[in-house]
Amino acid sequence: MGSASLSAAVDRPHALNSLLRSLDRPARTALDLARRPLWATVAPALLGIFLVAASSALAGCISIQGFRLAPRLDSLRAVFESLLVVVPGTTVFAIYLRLRISARSFLAATALGLLSAGVVAACLLPLVAFLAVVAEESRSALPLSMLAPGIALATVALLPARVMTALDPSRNARWLARAFIFFLGAVFVLRINAAFFKSFSLYLW
């Protein structure tokens, strides 16, 4: 009994270390990708962009009324506009705050996030089709065209933020990671909800 409890106590730190290593695997992968040539760093991002665009276009063709030839691409445009606005600004702030993450490492983390987002968006297509059938039977309106791009953007937001806090556990890095997630979501929501943005602008003026 004593030897069994001793061996269990010895195995617990090894299990904890393996869990922590698996959590830090995106950071190690981003560092390895940052050391490669630039084309190798950008290649996962291009593949992820293609998967996100293709999956979002197919999801935009699915509606409650059936399959339509002209997809709705508002959500896809909002995803790319959010990335184009927030990613360069986050890179500049990371350099300004002198974080222990280089611009190349952040670019690699974003590329991995885009690749993961593409895989997630492709896997969501059967769910979008199923929800279209369920919504048609229950006669409820679901924003199906926003599902794949929205979850893809959440994947892009979480992975670079995780890499940022894993490489630099300082307070500035944690706040910048939270700001990265917040502003990606904020730009996406403001771009999608154009009516709300126009009414808010009229209220300010």
How confident is the model at residue 70, as a pLDDT?
55
Q: How far apart are CA 47 and CA 50, in angstroms?
A: 5
Q: DSSP 3-state assignment of 166?
A: helix
Eight-state DSSP code of residue 169:
-
Q: What residue has token string 């935009």? A: 60
What is the overall mean pLDDT for the chain? 75
pLDDT band at 15 (very low <50, low <70, confident <90, very high): low
User: How far apart, in whole angstroms, are the C-alpha atoms of residue 124 and residue 51?
Assistant: 12
Which tens digits make up the pLDDT trace of 97-113? Answer: 888 888 888 888 899 98
Question: Which DSSP state fits 36?
Answer: S
pLDDT of residue 197 exceeding 60, the answer is no
* Residue 115 burial (10 A CB sphere; 0-12, 13-18, 19+): buried
Confidence label for 60 from pLDDT (cuts 50, 70 and 90): low
When pLDDT is cut at 50, 70 and 90, the band that residue 195 belongs to is very low
Helices within 24-146 (DSSP H only)? 25-34, 38-61, 74-96, 103-123, 125-138
| Residue owning tokens 């270390």 | 17
The tens digit of pLDDT for each residue in 113-170 reads 899 888 888 888 888 777 766 665 544 445 666 777 888 888 888 888 888 888 888 8
Mean pLDDT value across residues 180-190: 88
Tens digits of per-residue pLDDT, 34-48? 888 888 888 888 998
Q: What is the mean pLDDT of residues 194-205?
A: 48
- For residue 195, report the phi and psi dihedrals to the nearest 5 degrees: -65, -40
pLDDT on residue 75: 76
pLDDT at position 180 over 90:
yes
